[in-house]
Amino acid sequence: MVDVNLVLRSTRVITPEGTRPAAIAVSGGTIAAVLPYEAEVPAGARLEDVGDDVVLPGLVDSHVHVNDPGRTEWEGFWTATRAAAAGGITTIVDMPLNSLPPTTTVENLRVKQDVARTKAHVDVGFWGGALPDNVKDLRPLHDAGVYGFKCFLSPSGVDEFPELDQEQLARSLAEIAGFDGLMIVHAEDPHHLAAAPQKSSEQYADFLASRPRDAENTAISNLIGQARRLGARVHVLHLSSSDALPLIAAAKAEGVKVTVESCPHFLTLTAEEIPDGATEFKCCPPIREAVNQDALWQGLADGVIDCIVSDHSPSTADLKTPDFSSAWGGISSLQLGLPAIWTEARRRGHSLEDVVRWMSAGPARLAGLDRKGAIEAGRDADFAVVDPDATFTVDPVELQHRNRITAYAGKTLHGVVTSTWLRGAKINDRGTLAEPSGRLLERNN
Ligand SMILES: [Zn+2]
Residue 173 makes CB contacts below 8 A (sequence gap 6+) with 183, 226, 227, 230, 232, 234
pLDDT tens digits, residue range 324-334? Answer: 999 988 999 99
Please give the distance, rounded to the nearest whole angstrom, from the Cα atom of residue 29 to the centre of ligand 1: 31
Ion ligand 1, residues whose Cβ is below 5 A away: 311
Please give the distance, rounded to the nearest whole angstrom, from the Cα atom of residue 164 to the centre of ligand 1: 16
Please give the distance, rounded to the nearest whole angstrom, from the Cα atom of residue 216 to the centre of ligand 1: 15
Please give the distance, rounded to the nearest whole angstrom, from the Cα atom of residue 63 to the centre of ligand 1: 6
Please give the distance, rounded to the nearest whole angstrom, from the Cα atom of residue 5 to the centre of ligand 1: 39
Cα–Cα distance list, 15 to 88, 154, 225, 377, 428 (Å): 16, 40, 37, 10, 21
Please give the distance, rounded to the nearest whole angstrom, from the Cα atom of residue 4 to the centre of ligand 1: 40
Secondary structure element (H or E) that encloses residue 347, with its range: helix 337-347
What's the pTM value of the predicted model, to 2 decimals?
0.97
Please give the distance, rounded to the nearest whole angstrom, from the Cα atom of residue 186 to the centre of ligand 1: 8
Please give the distance, rounded to the nearest whole angstrom, from the Cα atom of residue 290 to the centre of ligand 1: 22
In the predicted structure, residue 31 carries a pLDDT above the cut 70? yes
For 102-236, where are the E strands, in sequence order? 123-126, 128-129, 149-152, 182-186, 233-236
pLDDT tens digits, residue range 111-156? Answer: 999 999 999 999 999 999 999 999 999 999 999 999 999 999 999 9
pLDDT over 70 for what percent of the chain?
A: 99
pLDDT tens digits, residue range 174-184? Answer: 999 999 999 99
Sorting pLDDT into bands at 50, 70 and 90, what band is 1?
Answer: low
In the predicted structure, residue 316 carries a pLDDT above the cut 90? no
Please give the distance, rounded to the nearest whole angstrom, from the Cα atom of residue 273 to the centre of ligand 1: 23
Please give the distance, rounded to the nearest whole angstrom, from the Cα atom of residue 383 to the centre of ligand 1: 25
The backbone torsions φ and ψ at residue 3, rounded to the nearest 5 degrees and listed phi first, read 60, 30
| Residue 328: strand, helix, or coil | coil
